[in-house]
Amino acid sequence: MKSKFVFSVLLFCIMVIPVFEGNALPANYSDRIAAIVNSDVILESDVKKQKQPLIRNLMNLPLGIVPPGKWPTEREILDELIVIHLLEQEAARLGIKLDDKAVESSIESIKKRNNLSDEQFVLFLASNGLSNNDYKQLMIRQFRLTKLIDSEVTRKTPISEEDAQKYFKKHQSEINEEYTKLLESMAPPQPPEQEATPNIPTHDEIYLGGKIRLRQITLKLPKGKKGKDLEQVMNTAKKIYRDSQTGADFGKLAKQYSQDPLAKSGGDLGFMDYKDMVPPLQKMVQRMKVGDVTPPLQSADSVIMFYLDDAKNRKEKSIPIPEKTRKELEKRWKQEQEKRAAAKKAQSDQRREQENSKADSNQSNSEPVKSLGILNPEEAKEYQKVRNKVIAILRTELIQSRMKEWIDELKRNSIIEVKL
């Protein structure tokens, strides 16, 4: 009975519509040690990867190492990574926790906002040298460190009305110009012409031969595949995938959710010869490592997920990526870059106008400035018009100053060895 069911699964794979193609293609970076931060090692490959435009846009942290609008040197990137590792160690020490669902929700929101299907999203990541898991880990790092900085810096940097009025009195003629610079500094810098190229590898690493042991979870789709019933199935599939990615036992998930005869055995398909699989299944598993889970795969009447439980006698092989595929990746990368550049410019212009308008509007509706004996009547009238801008500028300066002091303190209490 089980063998017949396995055979039906293999035939089913021919009809499956993959949501994700697999992990992004790896880049061949050097593995020389660039620096050691306490017990953490930073590789030269980490520095090169951090230089990619997509990663720089993602890691938007106020570290104060690279001046706003400047594209960093490799040494500046290494200094950034040293600080990032210090902050991650501090977050671990303080027990800063992260809601994984918030990360998943943010990623789904990014796909929706850019009108990208799951497959298009993976293709876009691959053209930037990233896998789906790489991207998720970057988002987790960004969320965790933002939470840490908010706790240790932002909330510990109060601004008084006295501070704001003193700042205005000293910099009265520079406020509007400084506020414009502040808004412009929020836009990510663009790489030099030679840096703005896709990191498309020439080879793909796959596994061939041997035997593999898969587990599966099957969810049946409602007839017609419309309405709330369909949405409920898809939400359940996403939840299962999310849980499996964060450490839940796939076998237990199969027993709990799967709707096929193998549910009782934890979805166990047993060991199968690679050579006996149908091509679509071969293509799927040849990029999977033990412990990997496929995102939900949809067929005509169900949604299925596979988990690679074990593998024997497989051989890793590097295969050339067809030139046609590489050109397609590069074409799509350029299209995305042009689209993103135009969108960023439009958003930057719109944000600057909105922020200026909002600051002016909020200020005009605010209560009159309290007299502290710092400003004369004429200065107080002008200060009233730009008070919100003054506070934004001053808050940024104070946070940057507090951030520098905090990072310097972390460095003094750490052992940092730069190798490059």
Rg of the chain in Å (alpha carbons): 26
Domains of the chain by residue range: 2-25+203-320, 33-200+393-418
262, two tokens: 């193998």
What's domain 33-200+393-418's superfamily in CATH?
Porin chaperone SurA, peptide-binding domain (1.10.4030.10)
Q: Could you write out the DSSP letters of every residue in 6-47?
A: HHHHHHHHHH-B-S---SPPPP-----EEEEETTEEEEHHHH
C-beta separation of 144 from 88 below 8 A:
yes
CA distance 237 to 303: 7
Question: What is the architecture, at CATH level 2, of domain 2-25+203-320?
Answer: Roll (3.10)
Place of tokens 């040849």: 286
Alpha helices by DSSP H, listed for 286-376, are 323-364
Place of tokens 């890691």: 59
Cα angle, residue 318 at apex, residues 315 and 321 outer, rounded to 5°: 140
Helix pair 118-127, 323-364: axis angle to 10 deg: 100
The rounded average pLDDT for each run of 10 residues, N- to C-terminus, in the chain (420 residues) is: 40 37 35 86 87 80 83 90 94 86 85 81 78 85 92 90 91 89 76 63 83 93 75 87 83 94 93 84 86 85 92 89 82 77 66 58 59 85 89 91 94 90
C-beta separation of 217 from 304 below 8 A:
yes
* 21 Cβ contact list (under 8 Å, min separation 6): 119, 122, 123, 126
pLDDT of res. 28:
37
